[in-house]
Chains A and B, each alone.
Chain A
Amino acid sequence: MAGSNEVNRNESKMVVPLNTWVLISNFKLAYNLLRRPDGTFNRHLAEFLDRKVPANATPVDGVFSFDVFINRSTSLLSRIYRPAHGEEPQINITDLEKPVTAEVVPVIIFFHGGSFAHSSANSTIYDTLCRRLVGICKAVVVSVNYRRAPENRYPCAYDDGWAALNWVNSRTWLQSKDSKVHIYLAGDSSGGNIVHHVALQAVESNIEVLGNILLNPMFGGEERTESEKRFDGKYFVTIRDRDWYWRAFLPEGEDRDHPACNPFGPKGKILEGIKFPKSLVVVAGLDLIQDWQLAYVKGLEKAGQKVKLLYLEKATIGFYLLPNNNHFYTVMDEISAFVDSNC
């Protein structure tokens, strides 16, 4: 038993740089301390351990940020990231919501990961990632601080995502020259899952979303797939912890074939014939849940929807957090092309 765990640890060390290994292992350790066997979550300790960063209206590397209330009554906050235009050394309050000037400005609504329970829009790792997205896509990024499990189960995160989408869609200052807001949805892990569900709602309500970007999206199901069995415990993630997070997010009594978890499963919605946004789905080849992610891609294809799969064979979860590997750059290029192609 212990012997095979040793093998497991050695395997993950072989495929990521040392500092990435330390980062992800540190998260893994912290997260293990936070999940309680009875399904509750040590939220105080989680907030204490999470590294956060304030918004900064002073441009850093050409990007500035500020926080807004999407919904004051539910305290739904979002952090907005905008590209600074060379001349401004100092942004003041009148510039924050100044209308965007380019012909076409993509607005990416971003949902951070954390398996529905961890992290925030102001977590350092996600602040860093969003800033990168601004640079790469010449976009405005709106990072949504959605409510988390287990305190707030399904459908809270989706409701918050939906509120954010409506908010973004109604901001005149975010409109491109054609008087429309060019919206993309993006997210990693649970954020990727939220992307799918918010897009679905958008379609049903006739709000146009130009594209979905799902980075290692979090999906699952009752069945134990090959990849789950093969990679259990090998690359930072275990079946057990995945199960815990689903139990924390899904309504009590529901199993993992609930459509939130398994959108193309037995209880899923039919996507044939609807105008679903094109999708870019990034799957890490060493991710435990890849079979579910690949099934998602297949599901979209079978429903006649436009989807591009980017399968990164030797990538683990979290590869996009540090720019020290090829997968990172591959993905950033793909995202840039995906968001650009609609001009």
Chain B
Amino acid sequence: MSLYSSGTSAASSAGSSVSSTTKPSEIDGLLAGAGYRVRSSDLRHVAQRLERLDAAMVNSPAEVSQLASDAVHYNPSDIASWVDSLLSELNQTASLPSDLPELPELMVGPGLNQTVLAEDAWTDHDAPQHQQLNNQFPVMTAMEEDSGIRLVHVLLTCAESVQRGDLAFAGSLIEDMQSLLTRVNTSCGIGKVAGYFIDALSRRIFTPQGVGFGGGVGLDPAYENEVLYHHFYEACPYLKFAHFTANQAILEAFDGHDCVHVVDFNLMHGLQWPALIQALALRPGGPPLLRLTGIGPPSPDGRDSLREVGLRLSELARSVNVRFAFRGVAASRLEDVKPWMLQVNPKEAVAVNSIMQLHRLLGSEPSRNSPIEMVLGWIRNLNPKIMTVIEQEANHNQPGFLDRFTDALYYYSTMFDSLEACTLQPEKALAEIYIQREICNVVCCEGSARVERHEPLAKWRGRLGQAGFRPLHLGSNAFKQASMLLTLFSAEGYCVEEKEGCLTLGWHSRPLIAASAWEAPLALPDANSPAAAPGIFVNPHSNPPINSL
């Protein structure tokens, strides 16, 4: 006999005990509307767990308080797994009250006790949340001037004309916009970012060959990019967030392993790695042997910038007694990297770290054996313990120009807004140029030149799931660390949110960057698996690996 009220039949799949139309695997629609994913068939089980925890709360409140402060929580949307993990934590610390009768395990079935099923939370469910991919506006300042709004209106009209192919009309609008710009506050808000977008549109309209970046001083673009990147890193917390969230996850994944290998898809100055090296040095039980393979563009002038970075990191590792080996892999594009270049040892625990690199592999049309599929394929075949993926939380890879333009306008508007909080110069100015280049690429470039093909987390989930990756949830400890670091380093207004095991960092209520972690369960051996072949470097200038042994 059901102890639960059957409720009135008012709405849909209310998970009521009398409902016979709901399929067992269906998510309760009403709870989904509240942000929770619970299968209708699991409701009873979850309720029982909640009762047990409630009883524990009453009988041993001290233990439960301890639980709150010490335990790491994951994926609160999945109530079933959350309560189960709390219960098992509690089981380890205190005993449950004995007077609670053993509640019968109803609905015991094959899939139900597993925490993650392959097709689980990652299939594109038509839940309301997923529709919110579109049109996330920047948080509005109530004081937006009339001219600001008008400017945006003309910008969108111009973009729409570009999409239609009416370049003459679009061109005439550029003039209008430039004059409107003079009447708007261009030091902040929509006025500031509008300037960049007008510039980008102008390039697109008047130089149809498509340009790369905005007005470099003729220096090596890769070097320039590194400098800008470094200032972007300093001026705002997005890259710092990416680094420490990824490091936390990698650290946890490496737990218990003595030989670990990190593959960094974009080494730059290696800013991410000192913290990981130090954390590994302090690991209880001692540090593992750490190998780092850093991928980056080749340096033209005979310098081996990868090696230089490797040397610095090696020095650091030596100073904290971490056995460390570095290898640089020079490649202009990620798809040129072949797995055998990474020299992964089957006995190592591998972490693949991709910070804003995967989107560069996308084309605007899905195709077979596309670069992204190829790369994801070989990553998977490495059987990494973890792959950390940080990407811009934006929809800049839509086929329609106007959609792309609109999304970018709002995305970068929010990002510029957040940059206002930075007072460091020249960091802020150079960070703006860094962002401006991204804008240019999204707006002006097409085909293979357009590399800033950002896609939102929901799409990456689908893509990575299909490629055979399983999510590894980022928990409350990573969340807390991120929040605390933000309060230390950045202005108020940045906010971290948890979304189904991933973390996003945004400005006020608009997420701008998303961090997720993945694992690849054991793949079947196939022809593409890296054999234990001797390494051959792409870059003939590359030297043997740097060791600090």
| A interface, CB within 8 angstroms of B | 1-3, 5-6, 9-10, 13-23, 25-26, 28-30, 32-34, 36-37, 42, 44-45, 47-49, 51-58, 60, 66-70, 72, 75, 77, 79, 90-94, 96-97, 122-125, 128, 167, 321-326, 328-329
Contact B17 A22 (CB under 8 A): no
Residues of B within 8 A of A90 (CB): 135
CB distance from A314 to the nearest CB of B (A): 9
Query: Which residues of chain B from 77 to 103 have any CB-CB distance to chain A below 8 Å in the complex?
Result: 77, 79, 83, 86, 97, 99-100
Known: A3-B99, A57-B136. A47 touches B496 (CB 8 A): yes
Using known A-B contacts A17-B14, A37-B65, A67-B139, determine if residue A56 contacts B134 with beta carbons closer than 8 Å: yes
- Roughly how many angstroms separate A324 CA and B16 CA in the complex, as a whole number? 10
Give Cα A52–Cα B76 distance, bound, in whole angstroms. Answer: 11
Which of A22, A94, A97 meets B38, CB within 8 Å? A22
In the complex, what's the smallest C-beta–C-beta distance from B537 to chain A, in angstroms?
Answer: 44
Q: Is the CB of A45 within 8 A of B476?
A: yes
Which residues B138-153 have CB closer than 8 A to chain A?
139-144, 149-150, 152-153
Main secondary structure of the interface of A (DSSP, over half): helix
Shortest CB-to-CB span from B497 to chain A, Å, is 6
A42 to B68, CA, bound (A): 9
Cβ of B449: which chain A residues have Cβ within 8 Å of it? Answer: none
Judging by beta carbons under 8 Å apart, are B142 and A29 in contact?
no
- Selected A-B contacts with CB under 8 Å, 18 pairs: A5-B55, A6-B100, A9-B54, A14-B3, A14-B5, A17-B16, A19-B14, A21-B47, A22-B38, A33-B67, A48-B480, A52-B35, A55-B136, A55-B510, A67-B508, A72-B143, A94-B152, A128-B34
**Are A322 and B54 neighbours in the complex by a CB distance under 8 Å?**
no
Q: Is B470 an interface residue (CB 8 A)?
A: no
Q: Nearest 3 pairs between A and B by C-beta?
A: A51-B35, A17-B7, A124-B35
* Alpha-carbon distance A92/B495, docked complex (angstroms): 25
Cα distance A28–B28 when bound, in Å?
A: 20
**Contact of A15 with B483 at beta-carbon distance under 8 Å, contacts A29-B50, A51-B77 already known:** no
User: How far is B392's CA from A326's CA once the two chains are assembled, in angstroms?
Assistant: 44
Question: In the bound complex, do residue A33 and residue B64 qualify as a contact, i.e. CB atoms below 8 Å apart?
Answer: yes
**Interface contact B137-A324, CB-CB below 8 Å:** no
Residue of A nearest to B152 (CB): A93
Collect the chain A residues with CB atoms within 8 Å of residue B128's CB. 53, 60
Tell me whether A17 and B55 are in contact (CB under 8 A): no
C-alpha gap A340/B362 in the complex (Å): 52
B207 lies within 8 A of chain A by Cβ? no
* B484, CB-defined interface residue at 8 Å: yes
Bound together, the chains give a CA A338 to CA B68 distance in angstroms of 43
Chain B contacts with A in 93-134, Cβ cutoff 8 A: 97, 99-100, 128-129, 131-132, 134
How far is B202's CA from A192's CA once the two chains are assembled, in angstroms?
A: 53
Query: Which of B's residues lie within 8 Å of A, judged by CB?
Result: 3-8, 10-11, 14-17, 28, 30-31, 33-36, 38, 43-44, 46-47, 50-51, 53-55, 57-59, 64-65, 67-69, 73, 76-77, 79, 83, 86, 97, 99-100, 128-129, 131-132, 134-137, 139-144, 149-150, 152-153, 156, 406, 410, 476, 479-480, 483-484, 492-493, 495-498, 508-511
What residues of chain B lie closer than 8 Å to A55, measured between beta carbons? 136-137, 509-510
Assembled-state Cα–Cα distance A257/B127 (Å): 45
Residues of chain B within 8 A of A69, CB atoms compared? 139-142
Q: In the complex the two chains form, is A66's CB within 8 Å of B140's CB? A: yes
Chain B contacts for A10, CB-based, 8 A: 3
Instruction: Say what secondary structure dominates the interface of chain B.
Output: mixed
Contact at A49–B76, with CB atoms within 8 Å? yes
Give A125 to B128 CA distance when docked, in angstroms: 12
Name the contact of B6 in the complex, choosing from A17, A22, A29, A70 (C-beta under 8 A): A17
Contact with A29, one of B16, B83, B99, B129 (Cβ below 8 angstroms): B83
B134 close to A5 (CB less than 8 A): no
Task: Knowing A19-B30, A51-B76 are in contact, say whether A323-B83 is a contact too (CB < 8 A).
Answer: no
| A19 and B28 within 8 A (CB) | yes
Asked if B149 and A22 sit within 8 Å, CB to CB, the answer is no
Contacts of A37 in B (CB 8 A): 65
User: Is B498 a contact of A48 with CB atoms below 8 Å?
Assistant: yes
Within the complex, what minimum Cβ distance (angstroms) separates A189 from chain B? 16
Instruction: Flag if A18 contacts B43 (CB, 8 Å).
Output: yes
CA separation between A42 and B493, bound complex, in Å? Answer: 19
A26, closest chain B residue (CB) = B79
* Cα of A42 to Cα of B484 in the assembled complex, Å: 13
Query: Are A124 and B153 interface neighbours, CB within 8 A?
Result: no
Q: Write out the residue numbers on chain B whose beta carbons fall within 8 Å of the beta carbon of A75.
A: 492-493, 508
User: Which residues of chain A have C-beta atoms less than 8 A from B6's C-beta?
Assistant: 17
CA distance A56 to B136 in the complex (A): 6
| Contact yes or no, B97 A54, CB < 8 A | no
| Contacting residue for A22 out of B47, B59, B99, B508, CB 8 A | B47
Known: A23-B31, A77-B509. A18 touches B4 (CB 8 A): yes
